[in-house]
Chains A and B, each alone.
Chain A
Amino acid sequence: MGKLRRRGARELGAWECLPPAALPSLQTVEHGFPNQPSALAFDPELRIMAIGTRSGAVKIYGAPGVEFTGLHRDAATVTQMHFLTGQGRLLSLLDDSSLHLWEIVHHNGCAHLEEALSFQLPSRPGFDGASAPLSLTRVTVVLLVAAGDIAALGTEGSSVFFLDVTTLTLLEGQTLAPGEVLRSVPDDYRCGKALGPVESLQGHLRDPTKILIGYSRGLLVIWNQASQCVDHIFLGNQQLESLCWGRDSSTVVSSHSDGSYAVWSVDAGSSPTLQPTVATTPYGPFPCKAINKILWRNCESGGHFIIFSGGMPRASYGDRHCVSVLRAETLVTLDFTSRIIDFFTVHSTRPEDEFDDPQALAVLLEEELVVLDLQTPGWPAVPAPYLAPLHSSAITCSAHVASVPAKLWARIVSAGEQQSPQPVSSALSWPITGGRNLAQEPSQRGLLLTGHEDGTVRFWDASGVALRPLYKLSTAGLFQTDCEHADSLAQAAEDDWPPFRKVGCFDPYSDDPRLGVQKVALCKYTAQMVVAGTAGQVLVLELSDVPVEQAVSVAIIDLLQDREGFTWKGHERLSPRTGPLPWPAGFQPRVLVQCLPPAAVTAVTLHTEWSLVAFGTSHGFGLFDYQRKSPVLARCTLHPNDSLAMEGPLSRVKSLKKSLRQSFRRIRKSRVSGKKRAANASSKLQEANAQLAEQACPHDVEMTPVQRRIEPRSADDSLSGVVRCLYFADTFLRDGAHHGPTMWAGTNSGSVFAYALEVPAAAVGGEKRPEQAVEAVLGKEVQLMHRAPVVAIAVLDGRGRPLPEPYEASRDLAQAPDMQGGHAVLIASEEQFKVFTLPKVSAKTKFKLTAHEGCRVRKVALATFASVACEDYAETCLACLTNLGDVHVFSVPGLRPQVHYSCIRKEDISGIASCVFTRHGQGFYLISPSEFERFSLSARNITEPLCSLDINWPRDATQASYRIRESPKLSQANGTPSILLAPQSLDGSPDPAHSKGPDTPEPPEAALSPMSIDSATSADTTLDTTGDVTVEDVKDFLGSSEESEKNLRNLAEDEAHACAILIK
């Protein structure tokens, strides 16, 4: 229903049809790696994998393009997940001990994940009529008994409960109380001590009646569910961590808190087993950390795999995150860069098979997913087609390139393949292959570029649902950095034991912060790009299919231009390496321009037809001719009173950023803790302590109200000289008769500089222009009276359309711009949009967004919206993201508001700062350091998962009546959405009998497939793609900690409000 309505509303010409409140969210799909994963599950039959997160999200992945997302109503941590094998159903356990049953259901051929049932253990003592008061505190483990309809729940109080999965009701009378087990235990073992929490429950593959129960104290019990009696007992004495049952029921492996594991043999005798057959401490003899999980898999070729996590020597390697894989004599210690959440093997699970024969090992880490091929010698890693860790180094900026030509695409892909050659011998491809991707092959290729803190630029295939890494460009090799040989030294110092092997690509540590990429621009027709960084470096690169060894020419441009009275207190410029350097195939640097002072580059633009690159910093801007390798122009934009800009890398801003981050973390934490009703007391205490420690003086906060000063901007506001945007256009600047190359620059204080350029014309048919100097003459200087920062500039042709990209018109790739009629320039500031006539600059139309709405512009882009109704009809609109997280769409050049949506929470400043619009009305923003959310403003151009899954589970009609909630894509998986918080008053009671809400019939939904238009009719005018949090972004939040405290309170109140309203 919602989707149909959205499509209708977004149809062109129907902007005004619906109030914005009626529109569902625009979000379509999340890209990247789930933030803070906490649980993992795998269905070997359907070959799908589920990841649960600490914010309560459930994400299911199969073959590339097959994705399902759900979000628990309570944003509690998902601690365990279990698939009902082959049924497309998933049981999840949250840390509030509630159980939730999720189903993958099909509507008109497309599958969705929906929550069907939920269950909370009743907390009344003695509810089941048992004489002994059972402590029913917390569910520690869950086991789906092989038959599938029963789940066993192990609790902290040593009891095991049984649950009917189809209805999520407790099977009373079947509960296994600890007393029953203790009866079979010899007295000398019992000695009055409790068994401890149930640590592990394992079912047997071949004999579903048998359940292996492990208690924390070390006791292992094989319980026969059919006969309700204890089959066998192993009297372990070491504190238990995990258990695994061998395929033939003759062996049981247990792992322990002292870093040892033991192998027990299950003999037929009824007497308790006292000793394990083998007990080893693999990384002994010194004290070791616990082995948290152990797997035992046998092989047809003989021997077996033992795979376990942890167990490292406490003193020397206690801080490592390791998984050890042992087979016969071969031991490999996989050394990961982030915490291990869980792991599983892909192996045969048919009961009739005699061997497990594991094919692959999948390890879920805090920051990435690593899959190893266990069938190929050496156990190489299998590259993941999705779940790429976007944040392997922190993302500092991003840019989107739409409709990439096939040739360039192929060259980038091949450069990427040369970079990370696939192991040819690997027989195994990606093992998680469940489901079918029903989405059509995207008709155009979209490239997402992310710039990172370590100086790399990553190229992602953003055409479809799965964001696939294509190629990685590193700029660090061009510079001499401080810590170059640190790595090799560290390697040498390490011993051979344990046999560490570095796995995974998550590496958050940057060698040198100056390498950070600030701005990226790519010309898709010439395969040239510019990468600009934190230390004022501007690098022009060109794609080459062969490796070369060449020197890069370096130029230095002084942007201060002899301006006196300023001293740069920031970082030094990077010192480039001299002499020929080897460059692999891919983007190879041609020219390096370094700005002085070496402040971060704040704007960059490239015109490949003219071979010009323009760049700006907080001090001024420059223009460089990279064909002749000569500077054309340097202009200082500093205001004489602006001292802050000179003080280096904005230390004040930085600390603000830090404090902001802390306060947001605090808000988030408090929100999560608010949800955790059932959290145990000790963690609550810790949280309270932590909060107390973080808040300096919470009482003062209450006293002072938040105040805002009302004062207009003055010319000498700090950072007024920051260059915010740069733009090249072939337009009329001198007079109405002659058009020519121009360059435009906009600053933080509302100044716009327009330069007329003399670019020697290229010979007919020739690619390169003659070797003559390019000249730049200042043509116009516009000072916007409201002095708001200029965020974007674009020139519109006589028909009101944006000018095409370089080469688009000359190569007949786009409709030639109208060079007859009067051109106009659109200047977007943070407060207003204005269209001025050209060549005489006089205001034509304007829209004062801030004066009307009280919001400020953060990102703007000109986007082409294609009509759903009419194939060929498209119009260009101005899309704008505000500091409140709303997206507004305006007509161009009329600047009439068309529609607006709320898109990002306004508190999510990093999300707002990271937003990138595509030219066809989609966009991306970061919802966590590792995930991009994709949204679509366009009715035509939507990218969302469409997939199906073959499920062999006969859904009878009665099932539907248990469904209490739909879970379409209403939410972000980081648990932040507003819509999802809407409580469905139906689940007021934890008693499952009451949670049978009325059926929510769903109107049929048209089969929808994402369609992209591949028209190159207009310029790629993604005007600004900052990924970094700028001063302006944080400005609204600059207030002291009191304000964030206040916000925090407001948030809490807001939530309460929302609930109240919705229930009413």
Chain B
Amino acid sequence: SISSFRNLLKCRFLGCTSFGAEFRRFSLDRHKPGKFEDFYKLVVHTHHISNSDVTIGYADVHGDLLPINNDDNFCKAVSSANPLLRVFIQKREEAERGSLGAGSLCRRRRALGALRDEGPRRRAHLDIGLPRDFRPVSSIIDVDLVPETHRRVRLHRHGCEKPLGFYIRDGASVRVTPHGLEKVPGIFISRMVPGGLAESTGLLAVNDEVLEVNGIEVAGKTLDQVTDMMIANSHNLIVTVKPANQRNNVVRGGRALGSSGPPSDGTAGFVGPPAPRVLQNFHPDEAESDEDNDVVIEGTLEPRLLSSLRADPRHSLALPPGGVEEHGPAVTL
């Protein structure tokens, strides 16, 4: 059976001064959404804006504004509607200013970031979303810097729902030194929490040896120190590990690793030259602008007498329901 579903359309004309936005509501077939081309036409037609070039975005369950520009993400958008799908339509020029992308609904990109991306650009005919149109996910980074036997993983915590979800322990690892093989203490991943971020990325595994945390080597540090370092960096955690399973290493330089053969360097315990301490993809500024902003709420500073203390039991500043804008203009109550 075919069930129809309602679809709330919310259209914003940011360039227009006389009216800010208009809203349309229409329904789509959830199971047969059709082609993106058709949808685009429908939208343009519904809003009587066939003459202008627009980008279409939708709000996903996390509150991120994600683009609809091909069949696949259109399909994904429709299937994620619950039950309403909020679709945002913007003029192309507006959209290019960088309002799409992860976290764009709840926080603004840095002005610098917007400028960087705004350079004149020839748009290819094929519509490929800009990097910022995608939600950053946990990934292997610095493949070209880190020895092949190591893996540098950036765990991107999206929202706060998912726990990082792993445990570390003390252990011993064997290393090749000028004096021969030597057993040295090391820190290892001991357990993964099912459903946690670390497990769901598939980039870390039990018994992986932790070598660096956000560019700082853990050699010589105690388990507690490494724990504290990881927690202190948890908003943007970059861990360099030596995977216990060396068969899935990233191959570079055309050398192929036989799926059944030993690692290319021969000895399983060999640790290559110390990894450079540069984190290519780690721009402190960027990371901090995203993650490390302390929330500042300004008070009215109008004198209030103590007599009002009873009347206003909280005597505090309530957070606005939609959350607080970070590092933007302060919210004045």
Report B225-258 CB contacts with A as 1/0, cut-off 8 Å: 1111111111101000000000000000000000
Is the beta-carbon distance between B296 and A630 smaller than 8 angstroms? no
Is the beta-carbon distance between B309 and A775 smaller than 8 angstroms? no
Residues of chain A within 8 A of B223, CB atoms compared: 706, 708
CB of A756 within 8 Å of the partner chain: yes
Q: Give the distance to chain B from A759, nearest Cβ to Cβ, in Å.
A: 12
- Pick from B218, B293, B299: contact of A780, CB under 8 Å: B299
Report A783-798 CB contacts with B as 1/0, cut-off 8 Å: 1111010000000000
CB of B301 within 8 Å of the partner chain: yes
Stretch at the interface among A54-62, A331-339, A355-363, A843-851: A843-851
Residues of chain A within 8 A of B299, CB atoms compared: 756, 777-781
- Pick from A631, A713, A781, A854: contact of B297, CB under 8 Å: A781
| A711 CA / B232 CA spacing, docked (Å) | 10
CB of B295 within 8 Å of the partner chain: yes
Q: Give the distance to chain A from B5, nearest Cβ to Cβ, in Å.
A: 36
CB of A855 within 8 Å of the partner chain: yes
| A1036 CA / B221 CA spacing, docked (Å) | 15
Is the beta-carbon distance between B228 and A850 smaller than 8 angstroms? yes
Is the beta-carbon distance between B225 and A855 smaller than 8 angstroms? yes
Q: Give the distance to chain A from B242, nearest Cβ to Cβ, in Å.
A: 17
Please, which residue of chain A has its CB at the minimum distance from the CB of B224? Answer: A1036
| A671 CA / B148 CA spacing, docked (Å) | 45
Residues of chain A within 8 A of B305, CB atoms compared: 773, 775
Residue of B167, B190, B295, B299 most packed against chain A (CB within 10 A): B299
CB of A275 within 8 Å of the partner chain: no
- Pick from A758, A848, A1036: contact of B303, CB under 8 Å: A758
Is the beta-carbon distance between A563 and B313 smaller than 8 angstroms? yes
Residues of chain B within 8 A of A852, CB atoms compared: 216, 229
- Pick from B163, B314, B315: contact of A633, CB under 8 Å: B315
Is the beta-carbon distance between A635 and B191 smaller than 8 angstroms? no
Known A561-B313, A706-B169, A712-B164: A785·B231 in contact at CB below 8 Å? no
Residues of chain B within 8 A of A562, CB atoms compared: 313
- Pick from A633, A636, A733, A883: contact of B306, CB under 8 Å: A633
Known A780-B297, A786-B235: A561·B314 in contact at CB below 8 Å? yes
Is the beta-carbon distance between B316 and A778 smaller than 8 angstroms? yes
Q: Give the distance to chain A from B111, nearest Cβ to Cβ, in Å.
A: 15
Interface size bracket, A side:
35 or more
Q: Give the distance to chain B from A784, nearest Cβ to Cβ, in Å.
A: 5
Please, which residue of chain B has its CB at the minimum distance from the CB of A709? Answer: B167
Residues of chain B within 8 A of A705, CB atoms compared: 169-171, 190
Is the beta-carbon distance between A775 and B304 smaller than 8 angstroms? yes
CB of A884 within 8 Å of the partner chain: yes
CB of B160 within 8 Å of the partner chain: yes
Q: Give the distance to chain A from B328, nearest Cβ to Cβ, in Å.
A: 12
Interface size bracket, B side:
35 or more
Residues of chain A within 8 A of B166, CB atoms compared: 709-710
Is the beta-carbon distance between A777 and B313 smaller than 8 angstroms? no
Q: Give the distance to chain A from B332, nearest Cβ to Cβ, in Å.
A: 12
Residues of chain B within 8 A of A382, CB atoms compared: none
Known A780-B298, A851-B214: A710·B225 in contact at CB below 8 Å? no
CB of B53 within 8 Å of the partner chain: no
Known A561-B315, A708-B168, A785-B293: A884·B225 in contact at CB below 8 Å? yes
CB of A734 within 8 Å of the partner chain: yes
Residues of chain A within 8 A of B304, CB atoms compared: 775, 777
CB of A714 within 8 Å of the partner chain: yes
Is the beta-carbon distance between A773 and B314 smaller than 8 angstroms? no
Known A632-B306, A785-B292: A711·B297 in contact at CB below 8 Å? no
CB of B317 within 8 Å of the partner chain: yes
CB of B265 within 8 Å of the partner chain: no
Is the beta-carbon distance between B309 and A633 smaller than 8 angstroms? yes
Report A175-189 CB contacts with B as 1/0, cut-off 8 Å: 000000000000000
Which residues of B46-75 are within 8 A (CB) of A?
A: none
| A635 CA / B229 CA spacing, docked (Å) | 33
Known A705-B190, A777-B301: A712·B234 in contact at CB below 8 Å? yes
Is the beta-carbon distance between B190 and A711 smaller than 8 angstroms? no
| A434 CA / B129 CA spacing, docked (Å) | 87
Report A698-734 CB contacts with B as 1/0, cut-off 8 Å: 0000000111111111100000000000000000011
Is the beta-carbon distance between B306 and A756 smaller than 8 angstroms? no
CB of B127 within 8 Å of the partner chain: no
Is the beta-carbon distance between B306 and A630 smaller than 8 angstroms? yes
Is the beta-carbon distance between A850 and B232 smaller than 8 angstroms? yes
Known A780-B298, A785-B235: A707·B303 in contact at CB below 8 Å? no
Is the beta-carbon distance between A854 and B164 smaller than 8 angstroms? no
CB of A853 within 8 Å of the partner chain: yes
Residues of chain A within 8 A of B168, CB atoms compared: 707-708, 710
Q: Give the distance to chain B from A1064, nearest Cβ to Cβ, in Å.
A: 13
CB of B22 within 8 Å of the partner chain: no
Residues of chain B within 8 A of A773, CB atoms compared: 305-306
Which residues of B253-300 are within 8 A (CB) of A?
A: 291-300
Is the beta-carbon distance between B292 and A786 smaller than 8 angstroms? yes
Residue of A633, A850, A1036 most packed against chain B (CB within 10 A): A850
Is the beta-carbon distance between A854 and B226 smaller than 8 angstroms? yes
Report A539-579 CB contacts with B as 1/0, cut-off 8 Å: 00000000000000000000001110000000000000000
Report B145-181 CB contacts with A as 1/0, cut-off 8 Å: 0000000000001001001111111110000000000
| A631 CA / B310 CA spacing, docked (Å) | 12
Residues of chain B within 8 A of A633, CB atoms compared: 306, 309, 315
Please, which residue of chain B has its CB at the minimum distance from the CB of A625? Answer: B306
| A563 CA / B315 CA spacing, docked (Å) | 11
Is the beta-carbon distance between A785 and B291 smaller than 8 angstroms? yes
Known A775-B305, A775-B306: A781·B296 in contact at CB below 8 Å? yes
Please, which residue of chain A has its CB at the minimum distance from the CB of B312? Answer: A561
Is the beta-carbon distance between B229 and A851 smaller than 8 angstroms? yes
Residues of chain A within 8 A of B235, CB atoms compared: 712, 785-786
CB of A369 within 8 Å of the partner chain: no
Residues of chain B within 8 A of A712, CB atoms compared: 157, 164, 231, 234-235
Please, which residue of chain A has its CB at the minimum distance from the CB of B307? Answer: A773
CB of A452 within 8 Å of the partner chain: no
| A788 CA / B234 CA spacing, docked (Å) | 12
Is the beta-carbon distance between B224 and A778 smaller than 8 angstroms? no
Please, which residue of chain A has its CB at the minimum distance from the CB of B317? Answer: A781
| A706 CA / B214 CA spacing, docked (Å) | 23
Known A710-B164, A710-B231: A778·B191 in contact at CB below 8 Å? no
CB of A782 within 8 Å of the partner chain: yes
Known A630-B306, A850-B232: A708·B225 in contact at CB below 8 Å? no
| A831 CA / B227 CA spacing, docked (Å) | 12
Q: Give the distance to chain A from B264, nearest Cβ to Cβ, in Å.
A: 31
Known A634-B309, A635-B316: A707·B295 in contact at CB below 8 Å? no
Residues of chain B within 8 A of A841, CB atoms compared: 296
- Pick from B167, B233, B234, B317: contact of A708, CB under 8 Å: B167
CB of A138 within 8 Å of the partner chain: no
Residues of chain A within 8 A of B292, CB atoms compared: 785-786
Is the beta-carbon distance between A636 and B314 smaller than 8 angstroms? yes
CB of A400 within 8 Å of the partner chain: no
| A834 CA / B292 CA spacing, docked (Å) | 12
Given A780-B296, A853-B225; 13 other pairs, CB 8 A cutoff: A709-B227, A710-B227, A710-B237, A756-B301, A779-B301, A782-B297, A785-B293, A785-B295, A786-B232, A831-B228, A852-B229, A854-B221, A883-B224
Show 30 A/B contacts (Cβ-Cβ < 8 Å), sorted by A: A561-B313, A632-B306, A633-B309, A633-B315, A634-B315, A705-B171, A710-B166, A711-B165, A712-B231, A712-B234, A756-B299, A758-B303, A773-B305, A777-B302, A779-B301, A781-B295, A782-B294, A783-B294, A784-B294, A785-B292, A788-B232, A834-B294, A850-B228, A850-B232, A851-B229, A853-B225, A853-B229, A854-B225, A854-B227, A1036-B224
Counting from the closest, the 3 A-B pairs by CB-CB distance are A854-B225, A712-B234, A850-B232
A interface with B by C-beta (< 8 Å): 561-563, 630-636, 705-714, 733-734, 756, 758, 773, 775-786, 788, 831-832, 834, 841-843, 848, 850-856, 883-884, 1036
